[in-house]
């Protein structure tokens, strides 16, 4: 997907489109995203990467070796995927002089003969191509089992770099609440609250929550792509909460609506409510 895709969009794609979007994360191995498509939604890129890495780890030796063999020879001049070409070009591996090219070719062939798969390293994490060549030569001293483990770890690093390049960061802002019963000096537990977006035709309900034992909600009321500039309203069901909590006074307020403006979807909007039977206050929290 050109221009990147958000994690929320990936989570919502049909399975086939999800696999197509991620088929290049592990080189020529769409079976990796296929293995995790049913585990959605992923809460973070970390979770998605961990699930894909776990799929590789649990795939068995034959599949792991096939994955390693799907990678191109480093600085080998063979046809590369767009991702591999960009990674190798970032360190000049696609434009070596004759002396460097011969040294890489000899080391690559020796490595391949020893281990049966091409040398793999997360190029974007290396200082320069001299460090890459030094690693290529040094890793030939490892045992086959140890080197296979190292190569798979490098595949995981490459996958993470590619995920970070593909997945568009979601807005960092969110909306949270905290309700305090100022008459008793305690959190208001179990209060129903509703979040609406103010639209030209009226209020559009976005969700309902109840406060937890700390007077907060267990998750943000709004975040990510859903967090857009506009006017919102949180309505706190105060009278119903007082009745359900067995409080002696019904109080003056049935519901407390708080309407506020979100100007920047990348910041945190915290809406506290301090409520008593005959008064309430609120402010822009942090």
Catalytic residue among 49, 71, 91, 268: 71
- Concerning whether 71 is annotated as a catalytic residue, the answer is yes
Q: Any bridge partners for residue 270, and if so which?
A: 176, 285
Residues annotated catalytic, as ranges: 71
């Amino acid at each position: 997907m050109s221009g990147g895709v958000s994690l929320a969009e990936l989570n919502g794609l049909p399975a086939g489109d999800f696999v197509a979007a991620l088929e290049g994360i592990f080189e020529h191995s769409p079976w990796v995203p296929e293995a995790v498509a049913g585990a959605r939604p992923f809460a973070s890129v970390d979770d998605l990467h961990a699930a894909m890495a776990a799929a590789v780890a649990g795939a068995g030796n034959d599949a792991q070796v096939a994955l390693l063999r799907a990678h191109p020879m480093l600085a080998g001049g063979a046809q590369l995927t767009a991702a591999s070409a960009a990674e190798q070009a970032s360190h000049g591996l696609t434009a070596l002089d004759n002396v460097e090219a011969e040294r890489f070719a000899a080391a690559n062939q020796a490595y391949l003969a020893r281990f049966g798969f091409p040398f793999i390293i997360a190029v974007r994490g290396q200082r320069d191509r001299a460090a890459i060549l030094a690693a290529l030569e040094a890793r030939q001293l490892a045992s086959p089992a140890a080197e296979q483990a190292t190569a798979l770890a490098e595949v995981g690093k490459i996958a993470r770099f590619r995920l970070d390049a593909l997945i568009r960061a979601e807005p960092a802002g969110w909306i949270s609440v905290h309700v305090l019963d100022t008459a008793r000096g305690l959190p208001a537990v179990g209060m129903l609250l509703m979040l609406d977006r103010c639209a030209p035709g009226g209020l559009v309900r976005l969700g309902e929550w109840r406060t937890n034992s700390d007077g907060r909600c267990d998750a943000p009321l709004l975040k990510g792509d859903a967090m857009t500039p506009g006017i919102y309203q949180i309505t706190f069901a105060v009278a119903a909460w007082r009745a359900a909590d067995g409080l002696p006074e019904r109080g003056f307020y049935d519901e407390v609506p708080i309407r506020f403006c979100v100007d920047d979807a990348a910041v945190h909007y915290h809406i506290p409510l301090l409520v008593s039977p005959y008064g309430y206050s609120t402010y822009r929290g942090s």
